[in-house]
Amino acid sequence: MQTCFICSISGPFSPHLIADLAKVTRQAGGHWLSSKIIRIEDQFCAMMKLAIDSENPEILQDQLETTFPQLLFSFVDSSNEPTAHRALDVTLDCADRPGLTHDINSLLDGLGVIISHQENHRVAVMGSNETVYQAKLQLEVPEALADDDIVDALDGLNINHRVSLSARASAF
């Protein structure tokens, strides 16, 4: 039987750390199903979905914590069941205003959309006191929600905007 769990890791980054984490995982009979890793200066955070052919994932979890005492680990049980979502990339370009990121996130949350990745950029427009806002979003959209529903909801924010949508391959 295969057991899946989400592992969150944070702490100091060192050369070969990711390869060493993967090696310990493989040696314990596990493998990474997906991962997100970010590094800022000499610190890093990672989230990964792990699977192990065992009913006792604590063996792998203990091995990770023992091998890497300088890192902080958190483990959460995870289901390997497929979800009824589709993957969608969205780029939103518009005039900036206070609270815009919050409003976009609240709107998408209200539609049942999950934001799996988000990057926001604000750029000053030369010669004026205005800024341009760009949001690049990777979304998990409920199957029943049409692309037009997302565009219509964004229209309701009353911002002068341009929206670009594109489907992407999904791992869920």
pLDDT tens by residue, 1-35:
688 899 999 999 999 999 999 999 999 889 998 88
Amino acid (1-letter code) at residue 123: V
- Compute the distance between CA of residue 113 and CA of residue 63 in angstroms, rounded to an integer: 36
Domains and CATH numbers, the chain: 3-78 (3.30.70.260), 85-167 (3.30.70.260)
CA 164 to chain centre: 20
pLDDT tens by residue, 26-82:
998 899 988 889 999 999 999 999 988 877 788 899 999 999 999 999 999 886 555
- Compute the distance between CA of residue 154 and CA of residue 165 in angstroms, rounded to an integer: 12
pLDDT tens by residue, 83-99:
578 999 999 999 899 99
- Using CA atoms of 53, 171, 110, 153 in order, give the dihedral in degrees to the nearest 10: 180
Report the 10 Å Cβ neighbour count for 168: 11
- Compute the distance between CA of residue 126 and CA of residue 58 in angstroms, rounded to an integer: 56
